[in-house]
Amino acid sequence: MLVAMYYKNDDVRLEEIPVPKIGQRELLVKVIASGICGSDVLEWYRVKTSPRVLGHEIAGDIVKAGEGVKNYKIGDRVFVSHHVPCNTCKYCLKGQHTACHTLHTTNFDPGGFSEFLRVPEINVDRGVFVLPDNVSYEEGSFIEPLACVVRGQRLIGIKQSQSVLVIGSGISGLLHIQMAKAAGASKIIATDINSFRLKAAKQFGADVILHAREDIPLRIKEENNGSFADHVILCTAAMPAISQALKSVDRGGVVLFFAAPEPGIDVPLPINEFWRNGITLMPTYGAAPEDIEAAIEFIRHKRINLIDMITHRLELKKAAKGFQLVANAQESIKVIIEPHKK
């Protein structure tokens, strides 16, 4: 079968490897749609394990089922979660599934930028979800990124009449904007350095858009009745953006770190000010099973506009172009790879 083998951001090669063989209680899935995530182009992170086949936002068809598979059958349209928790460790039992060691060490074989992938037994047991009839493969490829957004906003608890500042209007920022809108946020302000993405932020529900090179803390108060934002959602790891986030949160507010700088980079914090003003810093990573289920329900009920976020649909042999589009972050929002597209 054909795969897109990642070596580095500007070196993604179309290669051929054997179709994975499945064992008992495993599945073989034909990949129909696979989204390129922003984390797929974090070169400092990805080159450490290259060459490898990336891709974790997938939807497809079950084409083979190993002996002992009970809940799924050939022909089922499915989303498959690449990381799954053990559900028994102290972290899972406390509801902190994304801190689970098992979640950090599980995956399917190979990644989603391939024609087929093998779903290991543990993923079959707790990471395969049949797509509702009214959810397309493309929409199914959004389940994982949307679930991560669901988790982040579940942790910070956006309520009606609260203001939200989204820093970074890439795909994660746009999903956060839509989710905050669905939660009833009173005002949503979005920033970015890219005019294309700022227009997208407005299209998908931001009440105010600001260029990131403006004096963001000052502009937030101007646009938000003299107050900073109740919730600041940081969707970029750029240090100037982190500084803006810390200076733009209101008393009693929350800064959600949806993105983080690479290891070794420390962020100075005004602890005394945050202590006096009751400000919460909340990091979030990945998604728990309940978040995946919630994301599927959001998509099933069409509460989130996903299809209009797709700017590029590419066949597998053009995966290198897709990686460049995402890495350059200019005039693309969501890039979908379709391995069986001709």
Give 165's strand partners: 189, 232
pLDDT of 45: 82
Six-digit token string for 25: 């209680």
pLDDT of 261: 87
pLDDT of 298: 96
Class of domain 2-142+306-338: alpha beta
Q: Could you tell me if 190 and 214 are in contact, meaning their C-beta atoms sit under 8 angstroms apart?
A: no
Q: How far apart are CA 236 and CA 239, in angstroms?
A: 9
CATH fold of the domain at 148-283: Rossmann fold (3.40.50)
User: pTM of the entire structure?
Assistant: 0.96
Question: DSSP per residue over 105-126, as a string?
Answer: H---BS-SSBSEEEE-HHHHHH
Q: Could you tell me if 2 and 15 are in contact, meaning their C-beta atoms sit under 8 angstroms apart?
A: yes
| Grouped pLDDT means (10 residues each) for the chain, 342 residues | 97 97 98 95 88 97 97 97 97 96 97 98 97 98 98 95 97 97 96 97 98 97 97 96 96 96 88 94 95 97 96 97 94 96 78
pLDDT of 224: 96
Q: How far apart are CA 122 and CA 73, in angstroms?
A: 17
pLDDT of 44: 83
pLDDT of 260: 86
Q: How far apart are CA 321 and CA 317, in angstroms?
A: 9
User: CA triplet 281, 286, 288: central angle to 5 degrees?
Assistant: 105
Q: Around Cβ 36, how many Cβ atoms within 10 Å?
A: 28
Q: Domains of the chain: which residue ranges?
A: 2-142+306-338, 148-283
pLDDT of 342: 73
Q: How far apart are CA 264 and CA 246, in angstroms?
A: 19
User: CA triplet 154, 155, 159: central angle to 5 degrees?
Assistant: 60
pLDDT of 43: 87
